[in-house]
Amino acid sequence: MSKSAPLPVRHLAVTDLTCLRGGTTIFANLGFSAEPGTVTLLRGPNGAGKTSLLLCLAGILRPEAGTIAWSGRDAEERPSTDMHLVGHQPALKGGLTAAENLQFWAEINSGDPNLIEGALDNAGLSHAAHLETRLLSAGQTRRLALARLLVARRPVWLLDEPTAALDSQGDKWVASLIEEQIGAGGLVIAATHLDLALKKSRSVRTLKLGPGK
């Protein structure tokens, strides 16, 4: 996985973004930008709108007002095909093995099936490749959910609490994944309570959400 080829360049500019859910304003007039090769950490208390912001960026929630502009892309392309969203749910099928789950995501995201073995190895799951996913522990499931990002390379990662359920080794692994992604020119936006064990502080921005920001 090291020395990966550079990823397509994507810039993100968010202006005056307002998000309502169930009639309540989650956040209003939010503006920020993100450059390729950087990671933006979304911080804030529970209910501050970290997940809602990620869902807006992912094109799943429609913002009430404001614009989200991704530049660097062909106007013809669908924005959703150059991003990965990892939410709280793992998007894995318990009835399939770890390898089969990755195989599926590699195929449907037009990734590279040759990367599956490496991704499992990278996630520390090569011994569990042929176990049904429902038998994996919470931490292993999270690792597998993140391994999905490695089988189809895309420039933008939207991560919601990527280190939830992970041990300290797992925290370091997530940090290394993010560093590798931004090292290749990718753009990462991660909602997190905990500090990620990131080294390159130059390319880390923090965006505070919620009251008293």
Write out the H or E segment, with its range, that includes residue 41. strand 38-43
Q: Does 95 bind another protein (CB under 8 A)?
A: yes
CB neighbour list of residue 128: distance below 8 Å, 6 or more residues apart? 98, 120, 136, 140
x/- map, 149-178, another protein, by CB under 8 A: ---x--------------------------
Q: What's the token pair of residue 111?
A: 């990734």
- Whichever of 141 and 192 has its CB closer to another protein, that residue is 141
Alpha-carbon span 126 to 197, nearest angstrom: 24
**Six token digits for residue 172:** 């370091």
Give the contacts of 47 (CB within 8 A, at least 6 positions apart).
210
If one asks whether residue 107 binds another protein (CB under 8 A), the answer comes out as yes
> CB-wise, 48 or 86, nearer to another protein?
86
Minimum separation from the CB atom of position 102 to another protein (A): 12
Site for another protein in 59-78 (CB under 8 A): 59-62, 78
Nearest distance in Å: CB 177, another protein = 17
**Whole-number Å distance between alpha carbons of 157 and 32:** 17
| Interface residue list for another protein (CB under 8 A) | 55, 58-62, 78, 80-81, 83-85, 87-96, 100, 104-105, 107-110, 148, 152
